[in-house]
C-alpha cells in the first residue's frame, strides 16, 4: 500500500486534473473508484475489494491531501 501512496503523490497533479476534488480509492497503482466522501469511498470499494487491500486518499488540489503537520512541543526538564 505504500507503493500506492507513493504513486498517488507522484501523480497528484494529473489525478486532480482528471478527478477534481474527490476521494480516490487506489489499488495496484491505479484509481479503482472516485467518490464524494471518505466514508462513501471506503464502503463502496469494500463491496468489491477486501479491506486492507486498497487506500483512500483525498484529492483536493493542494499538498494538504497527502501531508500532515505534526506539532512539536519542547518540554524542559528544568522548571
Could you tell me which of 22, 11, 7 has the C-alpha nearest to residue 60?
22
What residues pair up with 34 in beta bridges, in sequence order?
A: 24
User: Which phi and psi (to 5°) does residue 70 adopt?
Assistant: -110, 110
Helix axes 2-10, 12-19, angle to 10 degrees: 80
Helices (H) and strands (E) in the chain, counts: 3, 3
* pLDDT digits (tens), the chain, 79 positions: 789 999 999 999 999 999 999 999 999 999 999 999 999 999 999 999 999 999 999 999 988 888 866 676 555 566 5
Q: What are the extents of the domains in the chain?
A: 2-65
Q: What is the pTM of this model?
A: 0.82
Amino acid at each position: 500500500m505504500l507503493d500506492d501512496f507513493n504513486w498517488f503523490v507522484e501523480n497528484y497533479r494529473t489525478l486532480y486534473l482528471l478527478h477534481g476534488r474527490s476521494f480516490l480509492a487506489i489499488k495496484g497503482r491505479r484509481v479503482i473508484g472516485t467518490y464524494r466522501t471518505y466514508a462513501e469511498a471506503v464502503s463502496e470499494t469494500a463491496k468489491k475489494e477486501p479491506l486492507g487491500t486498497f487506500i483512500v486518499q483525498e484529492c483536493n488540489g493542494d499538498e494538504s491531501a497527502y501531508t500532515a503537520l505534526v506539532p512539536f512541543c519542547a518540554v524542559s526538564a528544568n522548571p
